[in-house]
Amino acid sequence: MRVATVAYRLSVAGAALCRSATVPQSGIVLHSAVQYGLSDAAAAAHGIGDRPTVLGVVAGSPADRAGLSAQDEVLAIDDAPAGTSVNAAKTLLADALGRGVAWLLVAGPSGRRQIRFHAAPGCPTDVEVLTNPRINAWADGARVTITTGIVQATRSDDELAIVIAHEMAHNILRHCAPSGAEGAASALLPAARSGGAALAMRAMEEQADRFAVGITEAAGYDLAPAVPFLRRLLAETGIAKHAADTHPSGDRRVALLTAAIAQTLERSAQRRPARRIAGNTSASARVSGKM
């Protein structure tokens, strides 16, 4: 649930930055025996049914507050059978939440029950983790894919947040059309490009870095580890060399990220005193009214 929690937090906190493109966020992570190809015995041993089952819920999310919990099997969404496909169930849920409220019929350790909840608005984010030791992440216009290799390379959620936020930014800024392939334009280790296409892709990488800093800061993650993490990634993986056609040079990327963080923190510091002053003014008004 680590990746899901970071992605949810980035999405909801960043809603103001992608106001025209927000989508409902529930905080639910679903899975089923079908997607793993498990035998009935293996599925039962892991507490997974043929129907979409709750793998976990993000703490504090609408699903968590509504009482959904791990191992709850989703039987129906707004009276429509959930079926056996996780993707189909996610679509049903998104449609229901898009209408305002979702009703879920679930069965789990707490028995069969109906759950009703609203979603939180957030930036578009559909993050999948691919079991692969290779350090990589990419966006394809519809979803973000990160490998277990890059998740393990992060030493904190602050570092993981900047990775996910960067790839989310590509989708939010519409840098790539949906493809579902690792060869997507934003991959850390993409296919080689040349000429104008390469220049355009380098510009998109810089835009995504700047946007990612804003989302990460809005979500309350510490930006201090971002530059050291990037330096470590560049040194340990040779990404700057392999992605030279499509990404800014390592030194330029570090400089741009450093500048973006400084600008974001400066803007944040300027907003904080204004909020305190406004709060004090409101408090004074309330006191005056009582007098």
State both tokens at 211.
């946007």
Q: Please tell me the least confidently modeled range out of 9-13, 37-41, 223-227, 263-267.
A: 37-41
What per-residue confidence (pLDDT) applies to 58? 96
Q: Please tell me the least confidently modeled range out of 66-70, 129-133, 241-245, 263-267.
A: 241-245
What per-residue confidence (pLDDT) applies to 187? 52
What per-residue confidence (pLDDT) applies to 76? 96
Q: Please tell me the least confidently modeled range out of 39-43, 239-243, 279-283.
A: 279-283
Overall average pLDDT of the 128-146 stretch: 91
The runs of H, that is alpha helices, within 99-156 are 148-153
Give CA–CA dist 182/198, Å, rounded. 17
Per-residue pLDDT reduced to its tens digit, 221-277: 999 999 999 999 888 876 645 454 455 567 888 888 999 999 999 888 887 655 444
Overall average pLDDT of the 72-92 stretch: 92
Q: Please tell me the least confidently modeled range out of 84-98, 118-132, 214-228, 269-283.
A: 269-283
State both tokens at 267.
């803007």
Give CA–CA dist 183/196, Å, rounded. 18
Q: What is the mean pLDDT of the chain?
A: 82
Indicate whether 192 pLDDT > 70: no
Give percent of the chain above pLDDT 70.
80
Indicate whether 14 pLDDT > 70: yes
Burial class (CB in 10 A: 0-12, 13-18, 19+), 201: buried
Indicate whether 195 pLDDT > 90: no
Burial class (CB in 10 A: 0-12, 13-18, 19+), 168: buried
Dihedral of the CA atoms 177, 182, 183, 188 (nearest 10)? 100
Residue 168 contacts residue 215 (beta carbons within 8 Å): yes
What per-residue confidence (pLDDT) applies to 273? 58
Task: Give 7 or 188, the one with higher predicted confidence.
Answer: 7
What per-residue confidence (pLDDT) applies to 291? 31
What per-residue confidence (pLDDT) applies to 236? 81
Listing DSSP states for 89-104 in one string gives: HHHHHHHHHHTT-EEE
What per-residue confidence (pLDDT) applies to 202? 73
* Residue that is written with structure tokens 């990634």 in the block: 233
What per-residue confidence (pLDDT) applies to 166? 93
Give CA–CA dist 230/153, Å, rounded. 11
